[in-house]
Amino acid sequence: QVQLGESGGGLVQAGGSLRLSCAASGRTFNDYNSAWFRQTPEKERELVAVIRWIDSRTYYTDSVKGRFTISREVGKNMLYLQMNKLKPEDTAVYYCAAGAPRSTNWPTTDIRDFSLWGQGTQVTVSS
């Protein structure tokens, strides 16, 4: 069984940067699609970015395009989210997630396609 754990959250001023990391333990998750989601008390959990297992193709929600970058390090079983030009509206708990690919359709954006979740890390962006 794969377990995921996030790190790297914190408090940053608007315009700043943070890098989130997600470590997988138990077994490799390199054959899983992997993603970052975020959630605030006011909103449902939403997809931020996803990376496809077979070719590292990526997809981003519109609000983070050009500012965030999802990547992975296959040999180390790690997933990352580089967040630049942060805005107060990026404030949320960020979760890494992984799921076995169910089809060849892309992008995989349905939260139900992700069965493995980390515990979340808080990102707070001050104005």
State the pLDDT confidence band at 90, using cuts at 50, 70 and 90: very high
Entry field: residues in the chain: 127
pLDDT per position as a tens digit, 28-54: 788 899 999 999 999 999 999 999 999
Q: Which two tokens stand for residue 61?
A: 């929600």
Predicted local distance difference test score (pLDDT) of residue 30: 83
pLDDT at 104 over 90: no
Residue 82 Cα distances to 17, 21, 95, angstroms: 8, 9, 14
